[in-house]
Structure 1
Amino acid sequence: MMSPDALLATVRTYNPKTNEALIRTAFEYGERMHEGQKRHSGEPYFTHPIAVAGILAEQKLDDATLITALLHDTIEDTKSTYGEVAQMFDEDIAKLVDGVTKLTNLQLSSSETKQAENFRKLFVAMAKDVRVILVKLADRLHNMRTIKAMRPEKQVIKARETMDIYAPLAGRMGMQWMREELEDLAFRVLNPEGRASIIRRFIRLQRETGDVIEKITGDMEKELAAHYIDATIVGRAKKPYSIWRKMEEKEQGFSRLSDIYGFRVITASDEDCYRVLGVIHRRWFAVPGRFKDYISQPKTNGYRSIHTTVSGRDGKRVEVQIRTRQMHDVAEAGVAAHWSYRDGIRSQNPFAVDPVKWVASLNEQFGPEDDHEDFLEAVKLEMYSDQVFCFTPKGEVVKLPRGATPLDFAYAIHTRIGSACVGAKVDGLRVPLWTRLKNGQSVEIVTAQGQQPQFTWLDIAATGKAKSAIRRSLREQDRQRFIKLGSELARSAFENVGRKATDKALQAAAKTLRLDDSDAMLAELGASLITANEVVRAVYPELVEKTDDSIDSNRAVIGLDQDQAHERAQCCQPLPGERIIGITQRGRGVVVHAIDCAALSQFEDQTHRWVDLHWQAGTHPPIHSAHLDVTIGNDAGVMGRICTLIGEQGANISDLAFTDRKPDFYRLHLIVDLRDVEHLHSIISVLSAEDDVAEVSRHQNPNDANISVTEIGTRLGLQAPR
């Protein structure tokens, strides 16, 4: 276990002004709080916080971050409290410790919905103070280094979470060394045989060719010395996981894989970087398409280097990264370079990017009303994708993830330009909006007044910013459409009970349903979140009840034993007037099917479960739901006429959903409350006679024999009434 003296010795190398007394106090306090606690390995638990602090000290971080590392598990796992930490140290450190504790409690490998919500919380915490995530990343790194002590199934869960979340996050924060180590440690757990095979092939290759790294390094040093360029050259074989990923992506075997060796040339100035590039390209053959200049066009996380791949000694391809010392510090430390100290003061590296700006920009793109899943999608796009650099007609640079389209380019300039986009020109030529942009292209966006985002744009856009803006606009468009549809549904439902849907009546209904106003209620009605019956019942409960007392629903079916429960089968949805049969079901009583229902074939050899039934004669109330599939033209007013026609037949639309949207036609799924089969036929006849209705049919599905109407609605995108 590292002693406080050893930790302080490391800190003094970069921060001679460190508050040694406070760090010692934190060390002693943490050790006392964790006394008696053990890790899975059997070691004292406090060895973990010390190791985390050591990792952060290697990154030259400030005293507050190191103290947070020493105390990061005290509030969660000991009798220590927030107030006690704040009193002994200060409020800033207490907030950091509390922030790390909250991140530890977030289950980022949970279900997708919960994961998305927790990701949002993680980024909110990062926006407050990015040092929280630095401690958490160091915490995860040490846990992965000691993962062998965990149960095998727990190792897999932690390794998958590391590979999917923490390693890409470390990379996006610029901490490439940490990303590579996290990936390799996770790879060791998730695919030990794959990792071992890569290492064995490396050893075999080294036996056959000798120390390639030493030979190529010597060649480069000789060439640079001949041109009087002072530089440090570091060569290395790439990590096993990096090689495995290249093999998977390129579908190549190890023997055919190129550039498995990487070299970094560290120079004194920008000018020397380009001089080195010239020397290397004159001495070795450059591989076409493998040159990237991140000095003139830095990555968003502050990374700067020149990348090139050349065919080196014996024709082997090697990747060369050329950068200055300051660029190298940022490339290695990433976010930590922004917080690191040197000689007791915070280091002012001109290339270090404040990560708070990136985190804040992501949070600003999404309002509190936006889906957490949208936020998670945007974060993953930011973390996993490489970048391309394109130009506006005025020569301004726009950075986008690889795979971005002109639509993403338009939204990157301004949301207003993106929403009004009708076309694009790339390098002067008109191209489709789904065109994938490449480095160095000039993009001109064509806009038109009155244009609005289209639903199909979601499949075209690649960036979280564009997708978020499109969804926000579509929601607003949907809201207006839902309000209009809800108005028609409400009018029809009120007329069905002999009343008018006046503004006063709608306001009263909204108040009873505890909604903000009548527009909010109509939007929910149009979106099928509430039913028209609920709206009418909120104002005229006695009228809705009167429409339901023709025949008691409990006495609608004859042939059942006394008090025997029954329900309509959802596969055929039998209506009064149709010949019916019952099938006894354990726990459900008798399920009533139409006599010609295809689902009955599965009960042919179980005749003891069949019950002969028939509907009671008389007038049945319009409470029997039937599902209709309707295809209508995409024209103004069509939806309103459909609702009016159904309402005029004395039926009520209890639910509605769009199942397919095309530029010229929409497909709808309606659930309509009916009296009997004749009522159904009259509605189908009326709708079929409408010019804008292309097709209308009754929806019946034998696969729905054993599920509820709610489950059918869920399959179709319908919402259960509240």
Structure 2
Amino acid sequence: MYETVTHIDQLIKRVESYNPDADVALVRRAYAFSAKAHEGQTRQSGEPYLQHPLAVAGVLTALKSDVTAIVAGLLHDTVEDTLATPEELEHEFGKDIARLVDGVTKIGKIPFRNYEEKQAENFRKMVLSMADDIRVVLIKLADRLHNMRTLEHLHEAKRQQIAQETLEIYAPLANRLGIGWMKNELEDLCLKALKPDVYANLTLLVAKRDEERQQYVQEVTQVVKRALADAGLTGEVHGRPKHLYGIYQKMERQSISFEEVYDLAAIRIITNAKMNCYAILGLIHSLWRPVPGRFKDYIAIPKSNLYQSLHTTVVGPKGEHVEFQIRTEEMHRVAEYGIAAHWKYKERGQIGDKDGKVFSWLRQFIEWHQDLPDNRQFMDSVKLDLFHDVVYVFTPKGMVKEMPLGSTPVDFAYAIHTEIGDHCVGAKVNGKIVSLKHQLASGDTIEILTSSTQVPHKDWLKFVRTPRAKTKIKHWLKVEEQKRSLEIGRRLLEREFRRQGLPPAQMLKSDRLLEVARDSGFETTDEMVAAIGFGRLASAEVINRLTPSRPDTDRGAVTAEPHVPKPQPGKHDEKGVKVKGGHDLLMQLSRCCNPVPGDRILGYITRGRGLTIHSVGCPNLEALDYDRDRLVEVEWDTTAPSTHAVKVSVLAVDKTGVLANVSSSIAECEANISRAEITTREDRKAALDFVIEVIDTAHLDRVLKAIERVDGVITARRVRAWQER
């Protein structure tokens, strides 16, 4: 963790340490401007607000940023939180700095429906600004890091909201930009805010274990140093610290205890040349037996964030596993500073041609996401793209393609070209025909098989991984769905026209029908006809408006499909859900994600089944939302609280009394257990599965925390139906 800068002289000293020719007068002038603009303002902690932009500029010096970025860091909140204007900044500091400040300034004066939509639009603005100048995102990351360091001064709900957003967006973004130390610190701070009990417990356990293991790491280090000297190889050897969130993730992912995770000693060797990395690897393998399947060569095939190292795990002294990372000094610099280590600007913060090619994922990231019109789709797509681990696969001509872990031939096909993806019927992986669901692995060579008669299928959405593939499939399906709905709607209207003795061809082209469409809130006749085909509008209602003079009895006789009543404001039902806009629809909670009050929710209209309520983020909803017109905004009706059944899975040490203790902790939280099952495993652990009744997510969180405090419990988590498949 880099020390927080608290004084302008400290900041200047940091800048001059790596840039002796820096324009420090400009930095001091920006500091004075910021001090005057923020005069009288304080943070939640009570300290002067000026300490925040000063700390942000300090974080930027840790990335060895240029003076332009540091000045923008000092000024980043002046337009948003003071009376200063963009024009004033441009006059005082020039266009470049004013543009950087604008890039990190939140969007104001625009009404948003909720916090998530506002944050999505702000993040979209940052992504587009990032395409113009990469320094925008570095300033934003520095801003978020200092906010996370001072998070304890906010109330709990706000802390949780900011920490969750940081974990989902900003920590993965720091990782994709290759800034390893920042990613680790952000994740640890998120763990501290979201799971304070886990964080405190891990901190104590790590401190205690480090004392015990220090001697062992020193012994291994000395053996390696002697071997390097004997072989005439140069290299710095030292222990590598592990961050708390990484330990927590491994415990959760593999359902293992702290002792099982932390038995792995980690050592890093930094040498002076690439060929020495491989020589040192051979030396390590001659000292101790390597563990099969644990060697990774990120030097030959670097990660997309430019990370390069050799990774290997060996069975060290006393039979314990030791993990080694071997890299050059330049590789270590890139691993620490990532994209910030590549300040080869042509102009305005644009990365030079050579580095631009290496960071092609960044251009691709921006291109793939800037065209998504819907904010929720945009954020979900961004999160997936930032979070994923990757595999490296080859085209038949030997070109390397980086794909998200879990990608399929369909993802690969769309990565090559939309036409290839749309007409993909199969694939050969390493010369063997595989299914479209086949998951690609690093080193695979993929050949896509196509057919002119093949078209995308909605089932593909259940297994594709990349945002590009999902977007292209959804677009095709939406266009086809609109065509079908238009055809169905036209047939229904024609039938009603004939029943009324009206000429269908003339009526469909008539100005009167266009008037009815516009009176109903549609731009064109086709839009209204498609709505009839979807089932959102009754053809009888259109006929009634076209022929108001006809008797009610006649009009009632022509209703051919279920009538959808007009919206009634604030409509809700016994499920505890209110429909925004008040569509009077049959409602049901989805069984796949089993939402409870506190979850963000959306409704999806299904023909003949009414409105199904899903949690935002449910994979099934994601597969359905190619048709945005069927999504309905809904919210929980908090005026009528009720209980909801939730599945909870607990992993614990198999010992006497554990089921009774867990059940007791649930009861103490005033939650009813409607079902309980226990399964013992061969590794002396017990899996406890409960169905409990809770009021909302806050109640559920209270229950989970109480369970985790029970002696012998390793993990406790909520389980959705789609996670059990």
State the TM-score, normalizing by the size of structure 1. 0.73
Alignment partner of 1:143: what SS? helix
- The answer to whether the 8 A contact 2:384-2:467 is kept is yes
- The answer to whether the 8 A contact 2:304-2:359 is kept is no
Partner Cα separation in structure 1 for residue 354 and residue 404 of structure 2: 21
1:445 is the counterpart of 2:448: yes
Partner Cα separation in structure 2 for residue 517 and residue 208 of structure 1: 75
Which segment drifts farther, 88-97 or 143-152? 143-152
CA pair 149-115 structure 1, distance change in 2 beyond 3 A = closer
1:652 is the counterpart of 2:656: no
- How far is 1:252 from its partner? 1.0
- The answer to whether the 8 A contact 1:338-1:354 is kept is no
- How far is 1:288 from its partner? 1.6
- The answer to whether the 8 A contact 2:128-2:366 is kept is yes
Question: What is the correspondence of 1:488-637 to structure 2 with a 5 Å cutoff?
Answer: 488-502=491-505, 505-506=508-509, 508=511, 509-510=513-514, 513-514=517-518, 517-533=524-540, 535-536=542-543, 541=545, 543=547, 545-547=548-550, 549-550=551-552, 620=553, 622-623=555-556
Alignment partner of 2:403: what SS? strand
Candidates 584, 588, 592, aligned match of 1:710: 584
1:403 aligns with: 406
Partner Cα separation in structure 2 for residue 451 and residue 721 of structure 1: 28
Q: Which has the larger radius of gyration?
A: 1
1:283 is the counterpart of 2:302: no
- The answer to whether the 8 A contact 1:173-1:355 is kept is no
1:365 aligns with: 368
For these two proteins, the number of residue pairs brought into alignment is 579
Structure 2 alignment gaps of length 5 or more: 567-572, 588-602, 611-628, 633-725
- How far is 1:89 from its partner? 0.7
Candidates 192, 197, 207, aligned match of 1:193: 197
Amino acid at match of 2:402: K
2:427 aligns with: 424
Partner Cα separation in structure 1 for residue 554 and residue 402 of structure 2: 63
Deviations 1:7-65 (A, max 9, x none): 22221222233222211110111111111222222221111111110110121111111
Partner Cα separation in structure 2 for residue 430 and residue 471 of structure 1: 26
Amino acid at match of 1:232: E
Alignment partner of 1:320: what SS? strand
Question: What is the correspondence of 1:208-219 to structure 2 with a 5 Å cutoff?
Answer: 208-219=212-223
1:242 aligns with: 246
1:63 aligns with: 67
- The answer to whether the 8 A contact 1:434-1:460 is kept is yes
Alignment partner of 2:458: what SS? coil
Question: What is the correspondence of 1:80-479 to structure 2 with a 5 Å cutoff?
Answer: 80-102=84-106, 116-257=120-261, 260-339=264-343, 357-366=360-369, 368=371, 370-479=373-482
- How far is 1:242 from its partner? 1.0
1:608 aligns with: none
1:634 aligns with: none
Which segment drifts farther, 227-236 or 118-127? 118-127
More contact order relative to length (CA 8 Å, sep ≥ 6): 1
Partner Cα separation in structure 2 for residue 255 and residue 373 of structure 1: 40
Which segment drifts farther, 437-446 or 78-87? 437-446
CA pair 5-486 structure 1, distance change in 2 beyond 3 A = same
Alignment partner of 1:418: what SS? helix
CA pair 512-284 structure 1, distance change in 2 beyond 3 A = same
CA pair 127-512 structure 1, distance change in 2 beyond 3 A = farther
Partner Cα separation in structure 1 for residue 111 and residue 239 of structure 2: 39
Partner Cα separation in structure 1 for residue 427 and residue 441 of structure 2: 14
1:610 aligns with: none
Deviations 1:618-670 (A, max 9, x none): xx4555xxxxxxxxxxxxxxxxxxxxxxxxx7333366xxxxxxxxxxxxxxx
Alignment partner of 2:18: what SS? coil
Partner Cα separation in structure 1 for residue 214 and residue 360 of structure 2: 47
Structure 1 alignment gaps of length 5 or more: 551-619, 624-648, 656-670, 674-700
CA pair 534-420 structure 1, distance change in 2 beyond 3 A = same
- How far is 1:301 from its partner? 1.9
- How far is 1:408 from its partner? 1.2
Partner Cα separation in structure 2 for residue 103 and residue 324 of structure 1: 43
- The answer to whether the 8 A contact 1:266-1:323 is kept is yes
CA pair 423-519 structure 1, distance change in 2 beyond 3 A = same
Partner Cα separation in structure 1 for residue 276 and residue 506 of structure 2: 75
- How far is 1:461 from its partner? 0.5
State the TM-score, normalizing by the size of structure 2. 0.72
Partner Cα separation in structure 2 for residue 24 and residue 314 of structure 1: 57
Partner Cα separation in structure 2 for residue 198 and residue 270 of structure 1: 36
Deviations 1:497-527 (A, max 9, x none): 3222326743633466355655444334323
- The answer to whether the 8 A contact 1:533-1:654 is kept is no
CA pair 27-354 structure 1, distance change in 2 beyond 3 A = farther
Amino acid at match of 1:221: K
- How far is 1:85 from its partner? 0.8
Amino acid at match of 1:523: A
| Matched-pair identity in % | 39
Question: What is the correspondence of 1:16-27 to structure 2 with a 5 Å cutoff?
Answer: 16-27=20-31
1:7 aligns with: 11
Alignment partner of 1:298: what SS? coil
Alignment partner of 1:165: what SS? helix
Alignment partner of 2:270: what SS? strand
